[in-house]
Amino acid sequence: MHIEPGLLAAPKLMAANVAAVALLAVHAPAWLKQPKLWLRTVLAALFFTLFMQSFHRPVGPSELHFVGAMPIYLLLGCLPTLFGFGLGLLLQGLWFEPQDLVHLSVNFLSLAVPLLALHHTLGRRLAQGALSVRDVLKLDAAYYAGVTAMVGFWLSIANDATPLADWAMFAASYLSLVVLEPVFTVLVVKGVQAVRMQRWARACFDERLTAA
């Protein structure tokens, strides 16, 4: 889901920076009022970085990553995931891929906009009860459709036109995540629920999973 440096002109990067800062600023008050979310944000950033670095390969005009978005979202909640994406991308840029810092806001928006859209639609409804693989499959399908659409948007306004077939190849590669990630997510969520009465679990994970 990374956009390679040089594809977007400076004015478009500036607009993305403004949009990313505005999005975080809107959600910052709710995040700052709940210190319990700060630890979860750090965990989200660390898990996200671990997942992203564990598997990534170039596909068409972008890259296929194991994002791990649904386990992070379901285990830690929306706001920690949102801020964790930003922090995780910053950490990865500083430690592993300095050239990606140019497109930090672009790559953040590619993950954050679909996350918020999902949270305010399917996420709130499906996360209320026991999750099945089918439920997580719906969440993953909707989320990664949003991510690939965001990448398509950036490519559509890039300096050089990207053939539709190249973007379609990239989008199709994310079907592997939609197939594999739900099983991983359900296993991880059930593992957390098994230890939900532990004090550390209540501190680290979303109350929806640790409620007695």
| 59 CB-contact burial (10 Å; exposed 0-12 / middle 13-18 / buried 19+) | middle
| 44 CB-contact burial (10 Å; exposed 0-12 / middle 13-18 / buried 19+) | buried
59 vs 42 pLDDT, higher one: 42
Q: Say if pTM beats, i.e. exceeds, 0.95.
A: no
Q: What is the pLDDT of residue 156?
A: 87
Q: What is the pLDDT of residue 52?
A: 84
98 vs 21 pLDDT, higher one: 21
Please state, in angstroms and rounded to a whole number, the distance separating the CA atoms of residues 85 and 76. Answer: 12
- Whole-Å CA distances, 181 to 67, 82, 114, 135, 147: 9, 19, 17, 12, 15
Q: Residue 58 is inside which H or E element, if any?
A: strand 56-59
Q: What is the pLDDT of residue 49?
A: 92
pLDDT at 2 over 80: no
Please state, in angstroms and rounded to a whole number, the distance separating the CA atoms of residues 93 and 103. Answer: 10
Q: 84: pLDDT confidence band, cut at 50, 70 and 90?
A: very high
Bridge partners (DSSP) listed for residue 57: 64
Here the tokens at position 184 are 């991983």
Q: 34: pLDDT confidence band, cut at 50, 70 and 90?
A: very high
**Residue of 73, 65, 2, 70 whose CA lies nearest to 41:** 73
Least confident of 46-50, 122-126, 140-144: 122-126
